[in-house]
Amino acid sequence: MECAGCGFDIQSGFAFCPRCGARQPLSCAACGNPCQPDFAFCPKCGAPISGKVQPATKPKIETVLSKSEGDADRRPVTVLFADLCGFTTLSEQIDPEVMRVLQNELFEEMTQAVEAYGGFVDKFVGDALLALFGAPVAHEDDPVRALGAALDMIGRATQVGERWHARAGVPLRLHIGINSGPVVTGGFGAVSAKSYSVTGDTVNTAQRLQSMAGENDILVGPLTYRLTRHAFAFESLGAQALRGKSGNVLVHRLTGLSEAPHTARGLESLGLQAPMIGRDAEMSRLLTCLDLACGGAAQLVRLIGEAGIGKSRLVNEFVAIASNAARFQGLAIRKATCSPLGEQSYGTLGAVVRSAYGIGERDDLDRARQLLATGFRALDLTQEEVEGLLPLFLHVLGLGDPDGALRYIEPEQLRRQIFYAVRTVFERRLAQGPLLLVIEDLHWADAASLEVLRFMMDRLERSRLMLLAIYRPTSQTDPLDSNRVSVTVQRLAPLFAADGQKLLAAFFGESYAKLPVTMRKRILDRAGGNPLFIEEILRVLIDMGTLHNDGQRWHVAAEDTDVDIPVNLQALLLARVDRLPQEIRRLAQEAAVVGPKFDTALLRTIATDPAAIDAALDHLCDANIIEELRGPDAGGSPGYRFSQTLMHDVIYHNLLLQRRMELHQRIGQVLERQYGAAPDRPEHLAQLGHHFSLTTEKAKGATYLMAAGDLARKAYANDDAMRLYRQALAAFANEAEVTPEQQALLERLADLCGPAGLRDAALNHYRRALAIHRTKDDPIAAARILRKIGRLHLDAGRRDQAETHLAEAEAMIATIDAPVERAHVLQERGHLAFRMGDQAAAAEWATQALQCLQTLPIDGTTEAGRETARAMAEALNTKGAAFARLGRRREAVQEVERSLSVAEKADLQSAACRAYSNLGVLYTIVDPANAIRICRRGLEVATRIGDLGFQARLLANLAVACCTFTDRCAAEGVPAAEKAVEIDRALDQRDHLSVPLIVLGQIHQCHGQPKLARRYYEEALEVAKEIDEPQLLFPCYDGLATLSLEHDDMDEAERYFTLAQDVCIRHNLDPGTLVVLPFLD
């Protein structure tokens, strides 16, 4: 073997080169990859490196095949199939022995190409090679590595063909297919011949692509293309039919490296941009350190953070400020990035030199020599000094010793001369001005470069130098330190939740309000404060069509869409997991099945090796995979949680489905014994339901989840109830017949989705329930669902559809003894008439509804009694609102107060919220002091039960009361109205959006801001016209008319006054009532 530093021939197993003294690479015990002496983990497979010196040999397949069957898993992998073109013809022309030699030489070259990029050669089949990138060990950029290896293979095969041209007579050409996607890995085959491999459609597609490829073609699948298009150039072949596969596959031909590569991160190509958010304190510290450095006190700054946390963004912003700020005039900036494929000796230092003197990776020896000499002369070095430095720096650049100037220098002396040369160049450069040296991904730096950097910092402590080293917290010891210069350690923490909200708001601008609150929360909860994770989750939502842009603003197609883990994030996190020792990784998987949070007592009951749990948990904490729970989150036994939600998800999904089911079954059985035969606590029911729903006993799990959801609903924890109901429905999905529980689940979930703003989801659940009830010939249940669908349409401003459904519901039970449901339907028809401006009809419908209920008992302790109370409370509310419009205000107040009393006695919080909303309006006339109190009380209830629709109504009414009766209009009134607008827009509440817009128009008109007032009135008028709401059209016209009067535009004022009068005449409305009480419901 040859020395990694000077190329001297040394014996296998030498720790140091006897010629130059360089420490020799260690061989990774897992894959055989040569690793730098101070590496803690193998850069190829991520396995821990032992301190024992081993010869640097090629990877040994046996080390991978020794994995037990228990280590089979699911993971994203990039599969590469390469085949020799014309193999059959070539075999006919060449003697088999010669052909064997040719094949072995070609396979050796292809294997080296795969291994150089961190891939794993799975097998050779005839003249074909199957290589894996991402298994058995993942890297964050496996698709990029696979394409780099493919291009390298093509070049190597061409060189082999040139060497064999005389004997083969034909050039050697490959055709390659590459595809990325999920696979199952593990041992395949009979016990005596079992080998590590992968299986899945991803593999089949890669093979089909290889068969389709022409000579020297590299064809890639759609996911590979999407994950690599930032770095490579492609030619689209369109959607292609592949043999044996249904449907077409989008295929691209790889044509080479991109001429303008760019980062794979960021959403600029999708039209989403945001400034840096939440890093002001960190930026301030970096600038302070640079100020100190420019003043003559050298600074070493270590910027540490997980992948995606924002290190590069912070550094780029910092460099931009440093480049343009007047106080840093004359500052020189040099940047270098360490390669994830591993650096040769002095590789990181070489990258710094290339950055300083503009030496490209493809520049030849003469060009590098020329650029170095020019750069050194610019430092006022003499020709003699330049000639002395050039051989040393050419050695650092990996260009060897072409002139033999170093051949007689002893190893330790060579090392010292390199150190001296680097110090000389830096001192000369620092004499000309301050220097900022930025080295990214220092965790991949080579040992020799780190030693040089330490030496340099210790010798230049009183110079104008700042070294900014950026790396991930993967090493157990700091890769770079200094005993003489000031050292600042800056650890980047995840963004706070508020900063995450700001980031989303910056991305979407005015469209941010359109994003449902629940969607925002899911995105941020899953991302865990990591900006990259937020970006990639958004990218998936956009790719799925859940978020789409019409050219002006963003829209949400489906509010409760679940998002799979983005493939690149899955690989990024799985790479960290794969670095764990086998037994530690297995425990992490078992903990992930317990849940994102887990306690050691439960984990110990299902762990493969209970005795090793404590040490394994310490290891996982050190690796920042989990963290210990402290304070109120910790239970009786020591508790832990995964440091990132996505980390938990990746580890969980890494397990085989069968293994997951087995573990869930064991956990469920343990919890049943622990909680007893009849658990009644919501959290216990939810735990049992979660685990059993993921086993073969799905029905049992669904029953537990439904019971937990019912308890959450009774406690008005509606978000939790919806989540539990959804899980229960998913568990029931495979049932052969629809069960009564499924019917009930659909309706209960829809009842909660509507008030939460998930109107489309509610409508879908109602329609499914309606189809079931019609099939089972249950007219009362069908009428109930029709009535609820009608209410959904009414809230969306679709009155014709609301009328159709309500009329059908009434007809369906016209001859059936169903007084409570009939009362509900009549009340809803009255509510619809009120919205359409027919107050007399509204009062009549409500009166008929109350007559249906007059002989029925109202009992809040039974379900039947509560339904009677609900129908009565809603009917009284509708009747009171109609009376108010008819000028019977005192009767109106009495009816709505009765409604509130009935609702509160039966604990009907939603019905109570409607009463609070209407009383807040009515009290502005009869009891002004009470108006603000009742609005705030109602808002508390609406917030507690999570009803955003009533929150918007009560906020608008609170704004009116505050601005009419207090001096808190600017402090409380305007923010309340603006929040109501935000909610209405987010929920697409067209039936109410005009109200807070009108309120804001009135407020700004009163405060002498006519332009702003007009903008709000006009937007409100547009919405009111869309839903044809007469009671909202009038205040819009009236407000615009008075604005025109104030502006002395008499013609325009007359036009709007006429429109306002026409609305009142057509709908028999009292203008005086509408002016005073415009916002009843």
Contact status, residue 839 vs residue 887, Cβ threshold 8 Å: no
- φ and ψ at residue 627, rounded to 5 degrees: -145, 150
Q: Which CATH number does 580-655 carry? A: 1.10.10.10
How are beta strands 174-188 and 218-220 bridged, if at all? parallel
Sheet holding 435-440, edge to edge: 332-337, 435-440, 465-471, 299-304, 486-491
Where in 745-837 does DSSP place strands (E)? none
- Cα gap 941→912, rounded to integer Å: 8
Quickly tell me which residue has 């008439």 as its tokens.
833
Reported as a single tens digit per residue, the pLDDT across 39-85 is 555 555 545 454 333 333 333 444 444 444 457 899 999 999 999 88
Contact status, residue 283 vs residue 318, Cβ threshold 8 Å: yes
Q: Return the pLDDT at 235.
A: 95
DSSP letters for 981-1013:
HHHHHHHT-HHHHHHHHHHHHHHHHHTT-HHHH
Quickly tell me which residue has 């994203």 as its tokens.
76
> H-helix or E-strand containing 894?
helix 889-905
**CA 832, 837, 840 angle in degrees (round to 5)?**
85
The CATH number for 737-817, chosen from 2.40.50.1020, 1.10.10.10, 1.25.40.10, 1.10.150.130, is 1.25.40.10
How are beta strands 435-440 and 465-471 bridged, if at all? parallel
- End-to-end alpha carbon distance in the chain: 86
* Position 251, amino acid: V
Give the three-class secondary structure for 945. Answer: helix
Quickly tell me which residue has 């490959």 as its tokens.
174
SS3 for 689-731, per residue?
A: HHHHCCCCCHHHHHHHHHHHHHHHHHCCCHHHHHHHHHHHHHH
- Cα gap 131→111, rounded to integer Å: 9
Q: Return the pLDDT at 750.
A: 92
Low-confidence ranges of the chain (pLDDT < 50): 19, 30, 46, 48, 50-69
DSSP lists the bridge partners of residue 179 as: 79
> H-helix or E-strand containing 60?
none
Which tokens sit at 30?
């897992």
List, in sequence order, the alpha helices (H) in 836-862.
839-853
- CB-CB neighbours of 260 under 10 Å: 6
- CB-CB neighbours of 238 under 10 Å: 9
What does the domain layout of the chain look like in residue ranges? 62-257, 279-491, 497-567, 580-655, 737-817, 989-1076
* Position 977, amino acid: A
Contact status, residue 790 vs residue 766, Cβ threshold 8 Å: no
DSSP letters for 162-183:
HHTHHHH-S---EEEEEEEEEE
CA distances from 548 to 442, 502, 986, 990 (A): 39, 20, 15, 21
- CB-CB neighbours of 789 under 10 Å: 25
Q: Return the pLDDT at 68.
A: 42
Contact status, residue 224 vs residue 202, Cβ threshold 8 Å: no
Q: Residue 308, by phi and psi: left (phi above 0), alpha (psi -120 to 50) or beta?
A: left
- Cα gap 713→710, rounded to integer Å: 5
Q: Return the pLDDT at 1055.
A: 92
Q: Which CATH number does 279-491 carry? A: 3.40.50.300
- CB-CB neighbours of 86 under 10 Å: 16
- Cα gap 153→147, rounded to integer Å: 10
Task: Cis check for the bond before 857: say yes or no (omega within 30 of 0).
Answer: no
Q: Return the pLDDT at 985.
A: 83
- φ and ψ at residue 1010, rounded to 5 degrees: -65, -35
Using alpha carbons, select from 955, 854, 941 the residue that is nearest to residue 903: 941
**CA 511, 516, 519 angle in degrees (round to 5)?**
110
Contacts of 767 (CB under 8 A, 6+ apart): 789
What is the radius of gyration, based on Cα positions, of the chain? Answer: 36
- Cα gap 936→954, rounded to integer Å: 8
CATH 3.30.530.20: does it fit domain 62-257?
no
Contacts of 613 (CB under 8 A, 6+ apart): 587, 600, 603, 604, 607
Which tokens sit at 179?
């595809």
- Cα gap 649→595, rounded to integer Å: 9
In this structure, the chain runs to a length of 1081
Q: Return the pLDDT at 984.
A: 84
Quickly tell me which residue has 């019609």 as its tokens.
774
- φ and ψ at residue 72, rounded to 5 degrees: -60, 140
Using alpha carbons, select from 142, 141, 576, 140 the residue that is nearest to residue 131: 142
List, in sequence order, the alpha helices (H) in 735-778.
740-753, 759-775
Contact status, residue 503 vs residue 495, Cβ threshold 8 Å: yes
Contacts of 971 (CB under 8 A, 6+ apart): none
Using alpha carbons, select from 120, 32, 44 the residue that is nearest to residue 78: 120
- Cα gap 291→1069, rounded to integer Å: 72
Q: Return the pLDDT at 56.
A: 35
Same fold yes or no, 737-817 and 989-1076? yes
CA distances from 914 to 360, 910, 1081 (A): 71, 7, 8
Helices 582-594, 657-675: axis angle to 10 degrees equals 60
Task: Say which DSSP state 816 is in.
Answer: S
Q: Return the pLDDT at 1077.
A: 53
Which tokens sit at 860?
């809040």
- Cα gap 119→45, rounded to integer Å: 9
Q: What's domain 989-1076's superfamily in CATH?
A: Tetratricopeptide repeat domain (1.25.40.10)
User: Rounded to two decimals, what is the model's pTM?
Assistant: 0.73
- Cα gap 744→557, rounded to integer Å: 26
